[in-house]
Structure 1
Amino acid sequence: MDIGAAMLILLVTCVSCLLLFLNGKDQKNKGRLPPGPRPLPILGNLLQLDTKDIVQSLHTLSERYGPVFTIHLGLRPCVVLCGYQAVKEALVDQVEEFSARGDVPMIFRFTQGNGISLTNGEKWTVLRRFAVQTLRKFGMGKRSLEERIQEEARCLVQELAQTQAAPFDPTFLISRATSNVICSIIFGNRFDYEDRNFLTFVGLINQIFHLLSSPWGQMYNLFPGPMSYLPGPHNRILETFEQLGLFVSEKVKMHQESFDPNCPRDFIDCFLLRMEQENQDPLSYFHMETLVMTTHNLLLGGTETVSTTLRSGFLILMKYPEIQAKVQAEIDRVIGRHRSPSVEDRAHMPYTDAVIHEVQRFSDVLPAALPHAVTRDTQFRGFLLPEGTNVIPLLFSVHKDPTQFKDPATFDPAHFLDERGGFRKNDAFMPFSAGKRVCLGKGLARMELFLFFTTILQRFTLTPLTRPEEIDISPLMSGLVTVPRPYEFHAVPR
């Protein structure tokens, strides 16, 4: 396991603390969980996991223990699902049983069960339904949202043009563009790219995802009790969450001052209206804490996942310039150089659509999604999973399944093309997860990826600062999210 001396010292401290917490509790599970590597007392299977790439560690263990096995993350047993068939049988074929949300201690430490991401039961059902309906009301799946994304893509193109083909790190700029799309729905307006508060806000989101995927973030999720009392970078995650929460709270306060129940302007106004309608109901899920956390969840999901996918995609296209050239040729043939790409164009651009799907498959921005849990005692492949058992559907293993993709370790758009060059769907494509917990912003994300990719490649050729064969497209780290390596490029006008 790749951890430094500081982590080892921290680990010893965690063990000591945990021994005090045990108090002789019986840790045996009821039911019959799948077999897996033998856990050590207290540590579980920690020493068999690389905290910089837990997902790959789990995938490697599946080669020995099979597609369904049990891993102990600290004191918590988790059932790991590897490969398309196992994940499909759980999330799709037994959708109700596997529809609960599992434990993510670092995120729960901030949300305390409010919002959408870690909520279960009726509360989750009500809040998710409200969020989906409200996002649709303000454009999700409608032309008004397409126009917002087109506008943002044009703003991004203008910023890239100002670089005058000089070396440029796209990380922060792309995050600002994708964040503005979800901000326009939630707050009712986009932000200028140089707005100081907006820059701080986007920077906080970048930090949160980086810290959550770091070894320190992984250690907190393994040992939340002791780690909450120990110093270290993991404490910055909570601090960053809280700063982002203050930003959202300030926006909510501004909305309250100008709120008109007869004319809701955006997501926050719709939530305030629902709060007003249910203010006499003591059991209502619509209150200020839930508003802040729900908004917080949507901003995180709507900013960083699309941004990271775009950054990964641009790096891959520079690695394979022949693929970039074929996409640009299709753009020229179908759209031309003078009008903005539209969502309708996608149906006539099978190669570009295949490339975007392959970017999502290959980059695996959410390699394991958030953990699931079973809603009741569940029979699965001859085992009995007790109610509440944490389940990790390894989406990475689905996208790397050789039974579903001819050469899964290679980036190849042909994975989504038929023999005539038409686009071909694949049920093993699960970047948004599957079942009841599928990403509620799936439609928005698909629209953004197509319009941002095509608008930028319509106007620019992306060229690296080194030879394509020297470009490393392996991730910097892979935990809750897959973080691509930082890079610079030249955005050369076409």
Structure 2
Amino acid sequence: MLDCNHILNVYTLTGVVGLLLLYWFWRPYKFPPGPRGIPFLGILPFLGKYSERKIAKWSKSYGPVISLRFGRKDFVVLNDYESIYEALVKQQSKFSSRPKHTLPIMTDIAKGAGFAVLDYGEFFKSQKRLGLLALRGVGIGKQSIESRVLEEVTYLVKAIASTKGDSFYISKVLQKAISNNICSVVFGKRFNYDDKLVEDIIDRLLNGLKDPTTTLASRICTLAPFLKYLPPVSFIISRFKKKLETSLNFIQEKIDTHRATFNVEDLRDFIDAFLSESMKENSYGFTDRQLIFYIRTLLVAGTETVASTLAWALICCLHYPETQNKLREEILNVLGSDGKITMSYKSKMPYTSAFMQELMRFRTLNPISLPHKTNEDSELKGYFIPKDTTVGPNIWAVHNDPDYWDEPEKFKPQRFIDADGEFIKSNHVIPFSLGPRTCLGKQLAQMEIFIYLVSMIQQFEFLPDPNSDKLPEIDDGINGLAFLPYPFCLSAKVI
């Protein structure tokens, strides 16, 4: 016969389990629906490498606005253009903050400094204005941004030509060229391609995006921040910090040199512009730490996004050689074999514009944009979104929505050419996201992609690696904070 204590223990255990299950499955009133996963981990074990694709698949069952349990926290993910536009544009004042766990590895190192992780407010707006002025070359330096890009093109073309048709890694060359554009804006100078110190500095800065192990740790920590304290993630983070330290010291040295030669009447670059602002009254927050991590953001985002987009472009040219031929035909018709490209020619190149837009749709570089946070209780598409809820725009889902795109899994630049041969601009291609937190370097990136792509296709025919019987992978890549191609080789034949 069971004693009373045993019966009491059974009832107590049953009650505790019941309360835990009730807590696990409870949602706020009118909160978006979605899968809950398993206790403690939520849906983390079910995401796989391409979480944006799994979430988009779930949205077909639950609707475009869904909630997901990551660890012990509920996230809201937006999976169509309408809900993203409603939140980030129409209700931008409510959906433009950043959660504390955004890029948790970098947040721990930077102690809240930088740009990408800043919360929405007046300081964020002042930092964004400063960055936009620098990236547009307004009142900073004596050379326009376009002229800097055009100057760098000559070095890129020379570097590619020096391979003499042999197999080489194009990504490394592109990285050097694109990083020089940002270095010119930030430091006031470009660096030689054989400068091993600068190459190492950039490599260390980009480690968080390009190293598969580090990118996996970043994704894990973004979704479940508590795991950053546990092995093996904690070991990966420690290694990342050591690599980053050298780069941060390099940036500090550049700041010190600028401060020693500073002239408020002659602002040479972004560092000078920042130092000038720091000397004004009410310049709270304009510290060296803020500047260091702001520069780090500019170098990382401004280098790898454009370099990888161009690398994906060349991979598409290898897989679909007819697109490379069409690009070259249009370019030669407009420029000839030795004409110099400028942005003024873009309107005369509809197929090139269509190729670029399809490229950014087909290979979405930031599948799920950096998370946002609600500043206040909000309503979206009939759902209640409480204050401080993390909200993630699923850009990949928008770019691959079968209800909007015909055969979204295929690369088809012609989908953006009308019956008259004119380019069709689509508002549903949003690689830079929407709203106040749209990518700071959007205009510069678009300029670089156009000028570099045109210049390369004008001068070279890109061919598969003669030492391999396989083309570079087009459907798989490094998928962390960004979707990057695996390193690959090709050859370039001078035309």
Residue 72 of structure 1, aligned match among 62, 69, 74: 69
Inter-CA distance 143–289: structure 2 relative to 1 (3 Å threshold)? closer
**Which of 225, 235, 240 is the aligned partner of 1:237?**
240
Q: Aligned letter for 2:269?
A: D
Q: Distance in 2 between matches of 1:384 and 1:240?
A: 43
Structure 2: which 5+ residue stretches go unaligned? 1-19
Give runs of aligned pairs for residues 107-146 of structure 1, distance below 5 A. Answer: 107-120=106-119, 121-138=121-138, 144-146=144-146
419-428 or 224-233, which deviates more = 224-233
Instruction: Give the RMSD, CA atoms, in angstroms.
Output: 2.3
Q: Is the 8 A contact 1:36 1:70 kept in 2?
A: yes
Q: In the TM superposition, what is the alpha-carbon distance from 1:388 to its structure 2 partner? A: 1.2
Aligned partner letter, 2:484: V
Per-residue deviation at 1:91?
A: 1.8
SS in 2 for 1:70: strand
Structure 1 stretch displaced more, 36-45 or 460-469? 460-469
Which structure's CA Rg is the greater one?
A: 2
Residue 470 of structure 1, CA deviation: 5.1
Aligned residue in 1 for 2:169: 169
Distance 1:477 1:299 in 2: 19
In the aligned structure 2, how far is the partner of 1:75 from the partner of 1:139?
Answer: 48
Secondary structure in 2 matching 1:421: coil
Residues 473, 485 of structure 1: 8 Å contact kept: no
Partner amino acid, structure 2, of 1:328: R
Residue 57 of structure 1: aligned partner: 54
What is the rounded CA distance, in whole Å, between the counterparts of 1:241 and 1:224 in structure 2?
A: 20
The aligned residue for residue 384 of structure 1 is 384
> What is the CA deviation profile of residues 150-204 of structure 1, one whole-angstrom value per residue up to 9, with x for unaligned ones?
1111101100011001001111111110010011011000001111221112211
Partner of 1:44 in structure 2?
A: 42
Distance 1:131 1:148 in 2: 17
Distance apart, 1:288 and its partner CA: 1.4
Paired residue for 2:10? none
The aligned amino acid for 1:314 is: L
Rounded to whole Å, the distance in 1 between the matches of 2:285 and 2:136 is 21
In structure 1, what is the equivalent of residue 338 of structure 2? 338
Q: Residue by residue, what CA displacement relative to the aligned partner does 1:17-50 show, whole Å, maximum 9, x if unpaired?
A: xxxxxx9xx7866554211112322111112111
Counterpart secondary structure, 1:214:
helix
Q: Secondary structure at the match of 2:185?
A: helix
CA distance in structure 1 between the partners assigned to 2:360 and 2:469 by the alignment: 20
Q: How many residues align?
A: 466
Match of 2:117, as an amino acid?
Answer: L
**Contact 1:115–1:127 at 8 Å: present in 2 too?**
no
CA distance in 1, matches of 2:469, 2:315: 10
CA separation of 1:468 and 1:392: change in aligned 2, threshold 3 A: farther
C-alpha change, 1:76 and 1:244, in structure 2 (3 Å) is farther
Quote how far apart the aligned CAs of 1:460 are. 0.2
Could you tell me which residue of structure 2 aligns to residue 483 of structure 1? 484
Gaps of 5+ in 1: 1-22
Q: Equivalents in 1 of 2:469, 2:427: separation in Å? A: 32
Alignment partners' CA distance in 2, 1:242 and 1:357: 37
Equivalences for residues 42-441 of structure 1 within 5 A? 42-50=40-48, 52-102=49-99, 103-104=101-102, 105-120=104-119, 121-138=121-138, 144-211=144-211, 214-230=215-231, 231-278=234-281, 281=282, 284-441=284-441
Aligned 8 A contact 2:220 2:227 in 1: no
* Distance (Å, rounded) in 2 between the aligned partners of 1:471 and 1:277: 52
Distance 2:243 2:471 in 1: 35
Inter-partner Cα distance in structure 2 for 1:468 and 1:376: 56
Deviation at 1:247, TM superposition (A): 1.9
What amino acid sits opposite 2:432 in the alignment?
F
Please give the per-residue CA displacement for 1:353-412, whole angstroms capped at 9, x wherever unaligned.
Answer: 110111111111111111111121001122111111101100001111223322211100
Amino acid across the alignment from 1:258:
T
Moved more, 338-347 or 403-412: 403-412
The sequence identity of aligned pairs, in percent, is: 32
Moved more, 128-137 or 292-301: 128-137
State whether residues 319 and 469 of structure 1, in contact with CA within 8 Å, keep that contact through their aligned partners in structure 2.
no
- The 1:396/1:143 distance shift into structure 2, 3 A limit, reads farther
How far apart are residue 229 of structure 1 and its match?
Answer: 4.9
1:492 aligns with 493
> How far did 1:269 drift?
0.6
Which moves more between the two structures, 234-243 or 63-72? 234-243
**Superposition TM-score, scaled by structure 2 size:** 0.89
Give secondary structure in 2 for the equivalent of 1:37. Answer: coil
Which 4+ stretches in 1 moved above 4 angstroms? 26-31, 466-471
| Higher deviation after alignment, 119-128 or 165-174 | 119-128
1:110–1:242 Cα contact (<8 Å) kept? no
Whole-Å separation in 1 of the counterparts to 2:483 and 2:303:
14
Distance 1:253 1:176, change over 3 A: same
- How far the C-alpha of 1:139 sits from its partner, in A, is 7.9
Q: Distance in 2 between matches of 1:42 and 1:76?
A: 10
Q: Which moved more, 1:309-318 or 1:120-129?
A: 120-129
Aligned AA for 2:31? Answer: L
How big is the shift at 1:431?
Answer: 0.5
1:69 partner amino acid: I
Aligned to 2:7: none
SS at match of 1:96: helix
The answer to whether the 8 Å contact 2:318/2:471 transfers is no
CA distance in 1, matches of 2:62, 2:316: 33
Q: 1:49 to 1:80 in 2, by over 3 A?
A: same
Secondary structure of the corresponding residue to residue 265 of structure 1? coil
